[in-house]
């Protein structure tokens, strides 16, 4: 299935991408891809090290005639988001990604593609392995765990790199040069609840919300896409008010940095109201579908009978949880007053798990202003502390302050204008890039991020545009040629 991808141009890059996608590489389980990169560097005879947290650094001298140029760091992350459609049978721990071409796009068969950040990794591998590409001295930095904590970037020590310019190959629009990004923090509320017998004369059901578009909780948060956890909670709350629905468990969302696409709940309702309850769920689905027809055209709400449920949350605990989740903010909190169109602060209600007497509610709060990031995090903390939850902050990472006057920004702006007869959008983004973290130990390094068009990152709809990869590749090649002298 992936062979046709190997035949695309530039073949050297696409072949490295196919090789990389054959290696399972979930966040926090990067042992196999770390070894893959180490063996790659050693086969080329290049200086290759693994630092104490697992980042791989491969150094390559300048090509002939480029020895007097500044040393550059080419940086991408090794891990990828592992998500699949509920109907897809696939083992991320054992199988390589199954890719195919559809029109101008490379896609995966029911799973995430790994173009985020595999295209960047493959691009660096292509430069390292080439004997014909003109380039300055290169330090290739392959970080780990970008998607679930950025612990690779956080653990990189000062003094390992000598580069004065960093090219981060981890953005997803080919007409943009990114020079700043948001920071983030995980907010997790945990607690326990009491259960009681479900009683007699009840019908048991699995209620599912599925088919949402999902996407990246930073780059796509402004698109107004439905959040499966919030929609499920809305339906449960109204069902509880109108029909006395009682809750057994909820399992919604998956990854902190993915807008949740699916949620399921096990519930009971008095058998005497079955007919009315079914009609109510149909009406709710139609209302929600109408609200989200543009952003989530495949949204479905499904009610299916299940084996008899014997226990439910006591009403006091059920109502407290549903109220708190209802009050938890999602989406945009504030737009930037300084940069048009930039989301400044947001929250993603990423994961809701209620089962076996315990609950866990996980959010990822982002902002390009650290004080405002903490303000929204404190807001969420207060919401859940009202019901007695234990709330923890973790995984906090800084934003990346834009420096529009940096020399590399000027150079790449000029190159883009020459190549494509248009000016790029020089901007900051709401995603969490590693540049801000890496800059804490390398504060004088000029940094810029760019990449080809990638859509649907962090979801099974992820795809990368073939024609855009051509454009991005020519831009990268010309940039390498024009790195300023040391």
When the pLDDT of each residue in the chain is averaged and rounded to a whole number, the result is: 96
Parallel/antiparallel/unpaired status of strands 47-50 and 105-108: unpaired
Lowest-confidence region among 309-313, 335-339, 380-384, 468-472: 335-339
φ, ψ of residue 361 in degrees (nearest 5): -120, 120
Instruction: Give a yes or no: residue 129 inside a domain.
Output: yes
Q: Which residues are catalytic?
A: 79, 146
Predicted confidence (pLDDT) per residue in 52-64, tens digit: 999 999 999 999 9
Q: Are 346 and 221 in contact (CB under 8 A)?
A: yes
Instruction: Answer yes or no: do 18 and 122 share one domain.
Output: yes
Domain ranges, residue 196: 185-397
Kind and range of the H or E run holding 265? strand 263-270
- Domain of 301, CATH number, reads 3.30.70.360
Mean pLDDT of 340-366: 96
Instruction: Give a yes or no: residue 37 inside a domain.
Output: yes
Instruction: Answer yes or no: do 378 and 454 share one domain.
Output: no
Question: For residue 210, which of 298, 83, 278 has the smallest C-alpha distance?
Answer: 298
From CA 483, how far away is CA 486, in angstroms rounded? 9
Per-residue pLDDT for 13 more than 80? yes
From CA 194, how far away is CA 197, in angstroms rounded? 11
pLDDT at residue 235, as a whole number: 98
Predicted confidence (pLDDT) per residue in 111-132, tens digit: 999 999 999 999 999 999 999 9
Mean pLDDT of 326-352: 95
Instruction: Give a yes or no: residue 267 inside a domain.
Output: yes
Which of 397, 422, 452 delimits the end of a domain? Answer: 397
Q: Are 393 and 185 in contact (CB under 8 A)?
A: yes
Instruction: Give a yes or no: residue 405 inside a domain.
Output: yes
Which of 397, 420, 449 delimits the end of a domain? Answer: 397
- Count of alpha carbons within 13 Å of 81, Cβ hemisphere only? 29
Instruction: Answer yes or no: do 169 and 192 share one domain.
Output: no
For residue 316, what are the contacts with CB-CB under 8 A and spacing of at least 6?
A: none
pLDDT at residue 3, as a whole number: 85
Tokens of 366: 């982002």
Instruction: Give a yes or no: residue 199 inside a domain.
Output: yes
Mean pLDDT of 282-311: 97
Predicted confidence (pLDDT) per residue in 130-141, tens digit: 999 999 999 999
Number of neighbours of residue 290 by Cβ within 10 angstroms = 8
Domain total for the chain?
2
Tokens of 39: 């063996």
From CA 208, how far away is CA 185, in angstroms rounded? 29
Instruction: Answer yes or no: do 418 and 369 share one domain.
Output: no
Instruction: Answer yes or no: do 384 and 415 share one domain.
Output: no
Instruction: Give a yes or no: residue 486 inside a domain.
Output: no
Instruction: Answer yes or no: do 332 and 387 share one domain.
Output: yes
Per-residue pLDDT for 2 more than 80? no
- Domain of 133, CATH number, reads 3.40.630.10
From CA 64, how far away is CA 41, in angstroms rounded? 20
324 vs 459 pLDDT, higher one: 324
Angstrom distances, CA of residue 333 to CA of 189, 198, 222, 345, 375: 20, 39, 10, 5, 10
Q: Are 20 and 79 in contact (CB under 8 A)?
A: no
Ranges of beta strands (E only) in 130-255 are 138-143, 165-168, 176-181, 183-192, 195-197, 202-210, 246-253
Helix (H, G, I), strand (E, B) or coil at 474: helix
Number of neighbours of residue 1 by Cβ within 10 angstroms = 12
Instruction: Answer yes or no: do 423 and 356 share one domain.
Output: no
Which of 397, 415, 450 delimits the end of a domain? Answer: 397
Question: For residue 182, which of 389, 4, 434 has the smallest C-alpha distance?
Answer: 434
Mean pLDDT of 384-409: 93
Instruction: Give a yes or no: residue 80 inside a domain.
Output: yes
Predicted confidence (pLDDT) per residue in 140-160, tens digit: 999 999 998 899 999 999 999
Instruction: Answer yes or no: do 239 and 293 share one domain.
Output: yes
Instruction: Answer yes or no: do 311 and 458 share one domain.
Output: no
| Greatest pairwise CA separation for the chain in angstroms | 83
Instruction: Answer yes or no: do 233 and 373 share one domain.
Output: yes
1 confidence band (pLDDT: 50, 70, 90): low
Instruction: Answer yes or no: do 73 and 166 share one domain.
Output: yes
From CA 332, how far away is CA 373, in angstroms rounded? 12
Instruction: Answer yes or no: do 349 and 453 share one domain.
Output: no
Percent of the chain's residues with pLDDT above 90: 92
Instruction: Give a yes or no: residue 427 inside a domain.
Output: yes
């Amino acid at each position: 299935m992936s062979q046709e991808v190997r035949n695309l141009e530039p073949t050297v890059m696409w072949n490295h991408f196919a090789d990389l996608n054959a290696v399972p590489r979930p966040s926090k389980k990067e042992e196999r891809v770390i070894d893959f990169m180490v063996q790659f560097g050693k086969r080329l005879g290049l200086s290759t090290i693994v630092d104490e947290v697992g980042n791989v650094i491969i150094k390559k001298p300048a090509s002939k005639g480029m020895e007097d140029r500044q040393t550059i760091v080419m940086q991408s992350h090794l891990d990828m988001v592992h998500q699949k459609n509920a109907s897809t049978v696939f083992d991320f721990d054992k199988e390589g990604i199954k890719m195919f071409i559809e029109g101008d796009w490379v896609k995966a068969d029911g799973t995430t593609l790994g173009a985020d950040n595999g295209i960047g990794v493959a691009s660096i591998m292509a430069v390292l392995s080439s004997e014909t590409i003109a380039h300055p001295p290169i330090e290739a930095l392959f970080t780990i765990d970008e998607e679930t904590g950025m612990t690779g970037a956080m653990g990189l020590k000062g003094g390992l790199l000598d580069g004065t310019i960093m090219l981060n190959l981890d953005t997803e629009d080919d007409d943009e040069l990114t020079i700043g990004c948001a920071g983030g923090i995980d907010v997790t509320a945990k607690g326990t609840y009491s259960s009681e017998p479900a009683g007699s004369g009840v019908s048991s059901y699995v209620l599912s919300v599925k088919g949402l578009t999902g996407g990246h909780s930073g780059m796509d948060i402004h698109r107004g896409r439905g959040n499966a956890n919030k929609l499920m909670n809305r339906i449960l709350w109204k069902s509880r008010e109108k029909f006395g629905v009682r809750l057994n468990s909820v399992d919604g969302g998956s990854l902190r940095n993915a807008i949740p696409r699916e949620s399921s709940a096990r519930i009971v309702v008095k058998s005497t109201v079955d007919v009315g309850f079914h009609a109510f769920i149909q009406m709710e689905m139609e209302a929600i579908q109408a609200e989200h027809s543009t952003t989530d055209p495949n949204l479905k709400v499904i009610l299916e009978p299940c084996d008899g449920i014997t226990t439910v949350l006591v009403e006091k605990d059920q109502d407290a949880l549903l109220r708190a989740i209802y009050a938890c903010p999602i989406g945009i909190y504030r737009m930037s007053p300084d940069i048009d169109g930039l989301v400044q602060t947001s929250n993603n209600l990423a994961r809701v798990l209620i089962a076996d007497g315990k609950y866990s509610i996980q959010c990822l709060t982002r902002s390009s202003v650290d004080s405002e990031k903490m303000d929204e995090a404190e807001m969420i903390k207060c919401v859940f502390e009202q019901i007695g939850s234990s709330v923890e902050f973790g995984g906090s990472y800084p934003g990346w302050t834009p420096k529009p006057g940096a020399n590399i920004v000027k150079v790449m702006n000029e190159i883009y204008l020459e190549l494509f007869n248009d000016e790029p959008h020089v901007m900051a983004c709401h995603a969490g890039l590693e540049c801000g973290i890496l800059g804490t130990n390398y504060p004088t390094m000029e940094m810029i991020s760019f990449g080809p068009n990638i859509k649907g990152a962090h979801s099974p709809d992820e795809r990368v545009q073939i024609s855009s990869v051509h454009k991005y590749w020519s831009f990268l090649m010309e940039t390498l040629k024009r790195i300023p002298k040391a």
